Structure 1
Amino acid sequence: MDASTLVFPAISAMTALAMMMSGIAVFFQIRRDRLPDATRLENVRELRAQEERLLAERRAELSIVEQKIQDRDRLIAQVSALEERHKAVQAELASLDAARREIEEVKEQAAAAAADLAIATQELAKKSAELEALDAQLNPERLAEAKREVEKLSSERAALETSLPSLRAERDSALRSIEAARALQAQHAALALELSRTREELEGLAAKKGELLEVEASLRSRRDETVRLADELDRSAARRNALLSEISDLEDRVRQLQDQDEERAKLKVELDEQRLLRNQLAEQVEYLAARKERLAAETGEGGGADASALLEDLTRLPTSLEAPATLRHASRPEQEALYAVTKYLQDHRLDYSARTVDAFHTALKINDNTQLTVLAGVSGTGKSLLPRRYAEAMGIHFLQIAVEPRWDSPQDLLGFYNYIEKKYRATDLARLLVHMDPYSSSELHDPRQPRGDHMALVLLDEMNLARVEYYFSEFLSRLEVRPTYAEASDERKRKDAMIPIDIRGLKKSVSLFPAHNVLFAGTMNDDESTQALSDKVLDRGNVLQFAAPREFKKPTGIQNVERPDQAQSFKSWRGWVRSVESLGAANRETADAAIGTLAEIMEDCGRPFGHRLRDAILAYVANYPVRGNGGLDVRVPLADQIEFRILPKLRGIDIQSHGNAFDKLKSLIGDDLSDQEFAERIGDLLGKQENGSGLFVWRGLTRRG
């Protein structure tokens, strides 16, 4: 018989035995898992010790089996040698049956050794699996948790057992009180029966006077006793009711304890469910993490995308910055620049007074204090032309943005990330801010064409077609928290004013800084299709109200006007900006007195203002240009600020109930500031509107000169 014919049955038997033992192990493992932790782990140390001893015995048996295997291998080798020898001398040794029987016995011993090896291997695998299961069950955290639960249950059980004797004693006392009360009731019933019999005897002994007196005395004593017994019965009844109430409370307490036991069992079940849920959530977290990685790879958030391709649309030079491209390096006086603006407007046949031009120019200069200049009025009064022509004449880049009624977020101003194209779709305003920022790195703009010393004027045309708070409020807040121009070079101080841009796929974030060389203005029409400005916008802007024209001049043709080809230097522009300290003592005293009066008027009207508006008014007065050789007359810019900052906040005020406040305002303008034209315009509007809606609305003033 060949040795290979013995190995295959041994292997098959070992496989079947291993599968059977695995099934038994799985069955016992399932039963062990269903047991409570306290039950399964109660004798775990003894089990482990037994298994370790059994494992040691199995290892000793294994060593014996291994020795047998070695003997088997040696015998198999001897059998092979004998077979070869048998084949060589088979013809000569045909009569050697004894040798053949010996060979057969050796083969049988080898087969038996293989079977023993299979059994020992199977038992070793079983014990190894049991040892691993015991090691898993002996997890310190799991044992500690099980011990804590067992200790908690033991303490609760001990507390209940401690409280049971007192509850039983109270129950026995209550039962004894109930029995005493029942005895008193029976005694009371007997006394009542006896009282009835006594009354019958009194009716039969009516003729016996002497006996009646004795009976009467006896009855009186009995009556007193009855009253006493009745009182005692009442007290017993009250005590019985109290005892019944205590018994009811004790029963409620017992029910509460039982409910607590049930609740504790429910909590244990919930704990098991929560553990299962935690495992499920862990699997979900792993799945979501893998999904996040896939989505990051799909959207380019992993940082593998080309930064230049992602920034291509944002860093493109906007058309508004192409001309004028040459910077005016030579500084010029402010009066010369304003004269050039006035001349340029006249050449375009635009009839703006010098005071209107000076007011618009000053409102733009003080963008440290007032971030927005609004030109309001009816359509067709030249609100959009003034900023455009002023920028052209001054050498300032001009960007006009048409506001749409659907705008409802800052993305409408700066752009958005297109998830389909995986690119940031920038607006001209975002591109302008990139190239106008003198502090940004050269990665965002071409260093060969710097625009950091240029200036730009951004006009939000018909800005109140949509609610300004929806699309411009955050931008306006960033402008307000900008550091002063002297401190803007400090990156830490620019941090709060930075506007983050959502560009997926970049390794580092991109933010835009609205530098001081970018000026902001807006136009708004006074009609039923527009939204009113909120106090937040009014507090941070000058509102120049354009009045409806009273006369219409004949239009004249416009000759070819050459546009200046040099850009205004921002450093030169900053040389025109003056601090509030430049005001003389007399001018400062006049300004403070006017502001104090305005504060009282606005307080009376229920529209008070704070330090921000006071500082903005003083900055406007200090930066108002001086034309000619005369000095600064602070009354003119103070009157402007009443028109631009105060009157818009009085919109909707009831005229009749605030007559004194308006009288003070007209007196301040006409008497203290010597602007009779302005005061008469307010009086004219008050008279018309009082007879109309009764609410004040400023309609603007057309000035001459």
Structure 2
Amino acid sequence: MSGRNEEAITADVSPASTPPVLDADATALLTQPDAREQALDSRERSLKERERQSQRHAEELMDRETELEVAQSKLQRALADVASSQRQVAEADSSVEARARDVAQREVEASAGFAAKNRESLAELMKAHASLRAEVERLQADLDAARLRGIESLETRLAEERRARTAALDAELQADRTRHHVKLSAEGAAHDAALAEMRARFVEEQRAALEDLNRQRAQLQEKAAELHRGLGELRWKEEDLAGVRAGIERSIEERARDQVSSLERQLEALRDDHRRDRELVISLELQLSAAQALLARFGDNPAEIERRIAQQMQKIGALEKELLMRPSASDKELLVTLQEKERVWAAERERLVRESTQLKAEQSRWLTGVADLEQQRERREVAERRLDVLAGEMEKYRAEVDRMRALYERPEERAARVGALEEPWRTDFKRAEGAAPKELDWLNGIATACESSGMRFPKRLVHAFHTSLKAAELSPLTVLAGVSGTGKSELPRLYSRFGGLGFLSLAVQPNWDSPQSLFGFFNSVDNRFNATTVLRAMVQAQHSPDHETYKHGLADRLLLVLLDEMNLAHVEQYFSDLLSRLEQRRGESRGVTLDIDLGAGMPPYPLSLGRNVLWVGTMNEDETTKTLSDKVIDRSNLLYFPRPRTLHSRAKVTLAAESPLLAESAWREWLQLRSPFTPSELEPFRQGLEEINQRLEYVGRALGHRVWQSVEYYMANHPEVSDARARNDQEALQRTMRRAFEDQLVLKVMPKLRGIETTGESRRNCLDPIRKQLESANFGLGLSDDFEIACRVGHGAFVWNSARYLENAE
């Protein structure tokens, strides 16, 4: 409790805290004494129950003493031994009762002291709350006053600058009128000199205007930097306040959004002022030109003036043509400078747009995380209540378990528990003999056997599934998703049956909440280890056939484990330990093990995690299932089954003969542990993935190094790529590499886009450029239809759940 109070005090002292947060903390602290009083009542009831049990136990002891007295009269020769036993039992009982009373008394005293300390802590927290609330209000008032002073100062500077520019333009206009009257009386040479002077002055005015624009842009950049720092500080505050309730954090986010909107409106107002000033300058220049034209047309001698103007205009036209034909070095430098500034301004605008999009994406992810945290908080409260209820039960049974363990435990206990999990899963296997088959011939045999059994799978789907299993070193889990009834569970089963792999299917239950649900647990009531089928199969798969003590080992064969409907329960709860250990196996030459708990007082059983066990899962997406976390998706290949357009009949539900078990050495021969590609062969695909990664920056997403490594490893292990390289067919190699790259875009990259908004800036800056890249002729990919479906079916969010590209390939 003291640790929680300290955390609450730390959170309140933070300058980023707001009065609503402090009120919520105080309310929570006010409710804690009531909860503690309820806990004390519960403990008092538990103590009374224990006293009643002690009384019943004492009555039972009295009955036993009576029986012993009767037996004492019958067994005189054992009188001394029986009397000694009675005294020992009575002393032990009295000691137990004394300990129970002592423990109960200590619990009552500790609970009373805890309540007093809790009330004192509450009073201190209320004082700290009041002081912090006053400090927050003062800081908020100072911030508002500083903001108002800044706005007034900015408006004053803009008004003064506007008046100064207007006065300067008026003075300059009057000076131009005067100079124009003088120039009209001059000859052609003087007119040419005046024209050159006007051109130089115009260039100087442009340079001054550009300098003014640069100064204003610098001011805008400073405002944008301040805005960016403010938003960064806001994100930092949001991370610190992640434990506060969702409603309060939404209000904080709304206030932050209002501040951002206010700053953006101020920025837009400054841009409007600048635009109006520039339009005013242009208007004055047009008025000056019109005045000059009027003076030139209506002077003292209009005919002579018009003739001179015509001559000068001809000269000007000739000079302009010559100037256009031969641009000066200064004009070229000016043009290059203006173009460079234009590129800089465009890049700056693009950066600001990108930052705004990132902030929106961060906000969306933050709101989702807050809702998840609220759900987790509710679950934690329920679990804490259950823990309080079960704590008393655990104490009551612990003594009984210790007594029973002393009666039942024997030196051979561990051997019996290990024997339960080392019992072979199956013994009726047939092993294939002879040389390893060719990979493509082996896959074609599987497809032919599936068709003869009435099941049809796209050839490309079978190859993608096979390659995903081969890529288990980087992606140890293959997940099959799609419409129910399309063969997600049948493909692994028939692949194993006709390919010669051991197959084990597990029906995941909604109540799976720990690794014990997957592997088993020690049953203290029956005093034995309840090993699951998958645990016995994994143990069997790690023992060699010629092991001294273990028969029917399958270390030289392959085992495929299917987690059917794996997302009925939270995958992270029952599979995360195994997934982490499988990830540690990556590139490791030494054996990696997973400890299996055999019960209290027993050393764990080290389960070896060999590479001959392959993991596959199927999933549906409805209201009864759970979504996969980023950890699971990032370490998996997510393969979608196509929606059937033509429904096929299955006239006879029979399966072809089962193939003998394939040797694990044949599987190793098919693996490509090193990339066989040259840098030039991989460069187009690497650049394509990097461009997608750059676009994901606009929505706050990213692709890590593991994604590219998985893509390259998948392409190297694709059977068609290996066959084209073996035949030295460059055209087929390029075609199959593009196809494998397309598979990995679907399996690894598209799940990363899930949840991106399909409207507004997210679509313009992220989804549309990615789609154009997918449609580019450089890759020749066929993902446009599926990408359009993903943008359309998610109700405003990107959701990839189709596989038309497989049908198009067929």
Give the counterpart of 1:568 among 662, 667, 682.
662
**Counterpart in the other structure of 2:753:** 650
**Counterpart in the other structure of 2:569:** 466
Question: Does 2:615 align with 1:615?
Answer: no
SS for the counterpart of 1:424 is strand
Q: How does 1:429-578 map to 2 (within 5 A)?
A: 429-438=534-543, 442=547, 445-446=550-551, 449-484=552-587, 487-488=588-589, 490=590, 494=591, 497-504=592-599, 508-558=603-653, 561-564=656-659, 566-578=660-672
| CA distance in 2: counterparts of 1:506 and 1:433, whole angstroms | 24
Is the 2:543–2:550 Cα contact (8 Å) retained in structure 1?
no
| CA distance in 2: counterparts of 1:383 and 1:419, whole angstroms | 38
- Point out the more displaced range, 385-394 or 659-668: 659-668
| CA distance in 1: counterparts of 2:576 and 2:649, whole angstroms | 41
Is the 2:432–2:662 Cα contact (8 Å) retained in structure 1?
yes
Where is the helix percentage greater, Structure 1 or Structure 2? 2
Q: What is the letter of the counterpart of residue 525 of structure 2?
A: I
| 1:444–1:416 distance in 2 versus 1, CA, 3 Å | farther
Question: Does 2:796 align with 1:694?
Answer: yes
**Counterpart in the other structure of 1:180:** none
Is the 2:431–2:663 Cα contact (8 Å) retained in structure 1?
no
Question: Does 2:698 align with 1:604?
Answer: yes
Is the 2:471–2:717 Cα contact (8 Å) retained in structure 1?
yes
Q: How does 1:63-82 map to 2 (within 5 A)?
A: none
| CA distance in 2: counterparts of 1:516 and 1:462, whole angstroms | 24
**Counterpart in the other structure of 1:624:** 718
SS for the counterpart of 2:560 is strand
Is the 1:435–1:444 Cα contact (8 Å) retained in structure 2?
no
**Counterpart in the other structure of 1:207:** none
Is the 1:463–1:523 Cα contact (8 Å) retained in structure 2?
yes
| 1:606–1:676 distance in 2 versus 1, CA, 3 Å | same
Q: What is the letter of the counterpart of residue 600 of structure 1?
A: Q
Q: What is the letter of the counterpart of residue 405 of structure 1?
A: P
User: Where does structure 2 lack aligned partners over 5 or more consecutive residues?
Assistant: 1-397
Question: Does 2:785 align with 1:680?
Answer: yes
Is the 2:543–2:554 Cα contact (8 Å) retained in structure 1?
yes
Shift of 1:471: 0.7
Shift of 1:296: 5.2
| 1:440–1:369 distance in 2 versus 1, CA, 3 Å | farther
Shift of 1:512: 0.8
**Counterpart in the other structure of 1:285:** none
TM-score by length of 2: 0.47
Shift of 1:350: 1.8
Question: Does 2:494 align with 1:392?
Answer: no
Q: Aligned pair count?
A: 400
| 1:443–1:421 distance in 2 versus 1, CA, 3 Å | farther
SS for the counterpart of 2:782 is helix
SS for the counterpart of 1:579 is coil
Deviations 1:332-388 (A, max 9, x none): 221121111111121122221111011000000011100100001121111000111
| CA distance in 1: counterparts of 2:519 and 2:782, whole angstroms | 43
Shift of 1:443: 7.4
| CA distance in 1: counterparts of 2:657 and 2:754, whole angstroms | 42
**Counterpart in the other structure of 1:641:** 744
| CA distance in 1: counterparts of 2:432 and 2:745, whole angstroms | 37
SS for the counterpart of 1:671 is coil
Is the 1:378–1:527 Cα contact (8 Å) retained in structure 2?
no
Is the 2:547–2:553 Cα contact (8 Å) retained in structure 1?
no
Shift of 1:432: 1.1
| CA distance in 2: counterparts of 1:483 and 1:470, whole angstroms | 22
Is the 2:755–2:797 Cα contact (8 Å) retained in structure 1?
yes
| CA distance in 2: counterparts of 1:445 and 1:307, whole angstroms | 17
| CA distance in 2: counterparts of 1:504 and 1:677, whole angstroms | 54
| 1:586–1:501 distance in 2 versus 1, CA, 3 Å | same
Is the 2:596–2:606 Cα contact (8 Å) retained in structure 1?
yes
Q: What is the letter of the counterpart of residue 310 of structure 1?
A: R
Question: Does 2:466 align with 1:367?
Answer: no
SS for the counterpart of 1:563 is coil
Deviations 1:393-436 (A, max 9, x none): 11000000000001100001000001122111101111011111
Shift of 1:294: 5.4
Is the 2:558–2:613 Cα contact (8 Å) retained in structure 1?
yes
Deviations 1:243-292 (A, max 9, x none): xxxxxxxxxxxxxxxxxxxxxxxxxxxxxxxxxxxxxxxxxxxxxx9999
| CA distance in 2: counterparts of 1:377 and 1:640, whole angstroms | 16
| 1:326–1:608 distance in 2 versus 1, CA, 3 Å | same
Q: How does 1:279-428 map to 2 (within 5 A)?
A: 297-298=406-407, 300=409, 304-319=411-426, 322-428=427-533
Once superposed, what is the RMSD of the aligned Cα atoms? 2.7
Is the 1:418–1:424 Cα contact (8 Å) retained in structure 2?
yes
SS for the counterpart of 2:637 is strand
| CA distance in 2: counterparts of 1:667 and 1:580, whole angstroms | 32
**Counterpart in the other structure of 1:588:** 682
Question: Does 2:673 align with 1:579?
Answer: yes
Is the 1:311–1:423 Cα contact (8 Å) retained in structure 2?
no
Is the 1:327–1:567 Cα contact (8 Å) retained in structure 2?
yes
| 1:560–1:393 distance in 2 versus 1, CA, 3 Å | closer
Q: How does 1:84-233 map to 2 (within 5 A)?
A: none
| 1:304–1:414 distance in 2 versus 1, CA, 3 Å | same
Is the 1:422–1:504 Cα contact (8 Å) retained in structure 2?
no
Q: What is the letter of the counterpart of residue 797 of structure 2?
A: L
**Which of structure 1's runs of 4+ aligned residues deviate more than 6 A?**
289-293
| CA distance in 2: counterparts of 1:462 and 1:454, whole angstroms | 26
Shift of 1:599: 1.8
| CA distance in 1: counterparts of 2:533 and 2:452, whole angstroms | 30
Shift of 1:553: 2.9
SS for the counterpart of 1:471 is helix
Is the 2:489–2:564 Cα contact (8 Å) retained in structure 1?
yes
| 1:503–1:652 distance in 2 versus 1, CA, 3 Å | same
Is the 2:759–2:796 Cα contact (8 Å) retained in structure 1?
yes
Is the 2:424–2:540 Cα contact (8 Å) retained in structure 1?
yes
Question: Does 2:774 align with 1:665?
Answer: no
Q: What is the letter of the counterpart of residue 685 of structure 2?
A: A
Is the 2:593–2:608 Cα contact (8 Å) retained in structure 1?
yes
Structure of larger gyration radius: 1
Q: What is the letter of the counterpart of residue 316 of structure 1?
A: E
Q: What is the letter of the counterpart of residue 521 of structure 1?
A: V
SS for the counterpart of 2:554 is coil
| 1:444–1:475 distance in 2 versus 1, CA, 3 Å | farther
| CA distance in 1: counterparts of 2:441 and 2:706, whole angstroms | 31
| CA distance in 1: counterparts of 2:631 and 2:783, whole angstroms | 26
What is the identity percentage for the equivalent residue pairs of Structure 1 and Structure 2?
33
Greater RCO between the two (CA within 8 Å, min separation 6)? 1
Q: What is the letter of the counterpart of residue 556 of structure 1?
A: A
